[in-house]
């Protein structure tokens, strides 16, 4: 039986834990939270064994426990230190929340320490396990819509809706050094935006060659934001591939969701058709139930196809992501997002932030600005 330790019991814990529940192959041995009472509340909420051990210091937990898997659910600026210490303490599978780190230097050290200790470093990205996202990837990879030429990702950010996030969970995001390093921080591009940067790379299977970004500053947010980018062409394509992301603010609008008041819409244009993906974070809300709003709409050869036989609840992507991590720990699979792969996404992400500050295009080849 695999022994699991979880560092951090905030809001996201409620989703990450679901894939472990009622699984006879794993045991949640211990939890760590600076405030022990919060960890006790989670034990009660999810009916974990009463003997689940609680720590307020993750270093003490890692020194005393023999763990097979460690889940790091901490604020961004703590990811590197917790990962490095976990590797040094002999944990063999380390799962880290997005974004991987705050700098390329931190990412390099995390990868180096895990390689040295033989630990598997996996960056947790639930979007890559959403069933409609996986189906879209399958359609692209099978050449069903031809050669992809462009992708547009629209992120809608409402001011109301979703679950209540404790004020303490947002307080650290007000410190620029903890959310990307730009003068006013990068809570949109580096935090929420990580998913979009990941999907943009993953769908096309190409790395990014250059990026240009423009951001606003609405009440301390680096938004509204626009990111344009060009893919490297490691394989032959009919035309050069480009992409665009738009982060739109709707401060007075409520986005009905069981999770966050945010939603994602994706459009991919290819040589034989157009593929549209409706919804991401808010999958499962009132729009999901509409027959005119299917998860996937595909226009090909003059015909419209729809795909809607999916699990319409965002939490399922977390369950499947965690189940995949367990298989990784058992040696049956490899991380869908390894440390090296995540570092490339981080580089893309940080280059976009740098571009928005400098007001010019950034070429990723040779980009090594670790702290902005």
Average pLDDT over residues 329-342: 97
Predicted confidence at residue 105, as pLDDT, reads 95
CATH number for the segment(s) 127-310 = 3.30.360.10
Q: Which residue has the tokens 């003059």?
A: 302
Average pLDDT over residues 208-215: 96
Report the percent of the chain where pLDDT is more than 90.
Answer: 80
- Average predicted confidence (pLDDT) for the chain: 92
Predicted confidence at residue 173, as pLDDT, reads 61
Nearest to 371 by CA among 206, 111, 178, 86: 178
Q: Is the pLDDT of residue 126 over 70?
A: yes
What lies within 8 Å, CB to CB, of 352 at 6+ separation is 189, 193, 197, 211, 213, 227, 229, 362
Predicted confidence at residue 166, as pLDDT, reads 66
Here the tokens at position 239 are 């035309």
List, as one string, the DSSP characters of 281-338. Answer: TTTTSGGGG-TTS-SEEEEETTEEEEE--S---THHHHHHHHHHHHHHHTTSS--SSB
Q: Is the pLDDT of residue 182 over 80?
A: no
For residues 17 and 271, what is the distance between their CA atoms, to the nearest angstrom? 41
Predicted confidence at residue 281, as pLDDT, reads 93
Structure confidence by residue, pLDDT tens digits, 107-125: 999 999 999 999 999 999 9
Q: Are 33 and 39 in contact (CB under 8 A)?
A: yes
Predicted confidence at residue 164, as pLDDT, reads 75
| Residue 28 bridge partners (DSSP) | 4
Predicted model pTM: 0.93
Q: Is the pLDDT of residue 167 over 90?
A: no
Q: Is the pLDDT of residue 175 over 70?
A: no
Structure confidence by residue, pLDDT tens digits, 287-317: 888 888 899 999 999 899 999 999 999 999 9
Average pLDDT over residues 255-283: 94
Average pLDDT over residues 173-191: 71
Q: Is the pLDDT of residue 334 over 50?
A: yes
Structure confidence by residue, pLDDT tens digits, 57-66: 999 999 999 9
Q: Match domain 2-126+318-337 to its CATH number in 3.30.420.40, 3.40.50.720, 3.40.50.10170, 3.30.930.10.
A: 3.40.50.720
Structure confidence by residue, pLDDT tens digits, 215-259: 998 888 899 999 999 999 888 888 899 999 999 999 999 998 889
Here the tokens at position 259 are 């999770």
Structure confidence by residue, pLDDT tens digits, 12-37: 999 999 999 999 999 999 999 999 99
Identical topology for domains 2-126+318-337 and 127-310: no
Average pLDDT over residues 150-166: 88
Domain range annotation of the chain: 2-126+318-337, 127-310
Q: Looking at the chain, list the stretches that DSSP marks H as alpha helix, in order from N- to C-terminal side.
A: 13-16, 36-45, 58-64, 79-88, 104-117, 131-141, 167-171, 194-204, 315-329, 339-358
């Amino acid at each position: 039986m695999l022994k699991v330790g979880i560092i951090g019991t905030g809001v996201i814990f409620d989703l990450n834990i679901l894939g472990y529940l009622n699984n006879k192959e794993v045991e949640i041995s211990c939890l760590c939270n600076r405030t022990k009472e919060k960890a006790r509340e989670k034990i009660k909420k999810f009916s974990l064994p009463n003997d689940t051990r609680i720590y307020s210091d993750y270093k003490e937990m890692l020194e005393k426990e023999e763990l097979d898997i460690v889940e790091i659910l901490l604020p961004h600026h703590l990811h590197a230190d917790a990962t490095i210490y976990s590797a040094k303490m002999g944990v063999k599978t380390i799962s880290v929340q997005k974004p991987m780190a705050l700098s390329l230097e931190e990412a390099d050290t995390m990868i180096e320490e895990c390689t040295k200790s033989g630990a598997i470093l996996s960056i947790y990205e639930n979007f890559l396990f959403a069933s409609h996202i996986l189906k879209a990837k399958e359609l692209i990879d099978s050449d069903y819509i031809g050669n992809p030429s462009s992708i547009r990702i629209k992120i809608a950010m409402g001011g109301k809706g979703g679950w209540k996030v404790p004020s303490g969970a947002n307080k650290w995001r007000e410190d620029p050094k903890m959310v990307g390093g730009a003068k006013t921080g990068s809570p949109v591009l580096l935090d929420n935006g990580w998913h979009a940067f990941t999907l943009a790379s993953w769908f096309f299977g190409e790395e990014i060659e250059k990026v240009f970004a423009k951001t606003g500053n609405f009440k301390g947010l680096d938004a509204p934001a626009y990111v344009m980018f060009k893919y490297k062409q490691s394989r032959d394509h009919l035309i050069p591939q480009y992409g665009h992301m738009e982060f739109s603010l709707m401060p007075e609008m409520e986005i009905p969701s069981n999770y966050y008041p945010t939603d994602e819409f994706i459009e991919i244009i290819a040589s034989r058709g157009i593929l549209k993906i409706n919804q991401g974070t808010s999958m499962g809300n009132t729009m999901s139930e509409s027959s005119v709003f299917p998860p996937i709409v595909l226009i090909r050869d003059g015909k419209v196809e729809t795909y809607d036989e999916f699990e319409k609840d965002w939490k399922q992507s977390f369950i499947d992501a965690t189940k995949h991590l367990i298989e990784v720990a058992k040696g049956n699979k490899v991380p869908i997002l390894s440390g090296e792969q995540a570092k490339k996404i981080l580089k893309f992400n940080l280059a976009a932030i740098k571009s928005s500050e400098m007001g010019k295009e950034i070429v990723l080849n040779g980009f090594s600005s670790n702290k902005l």
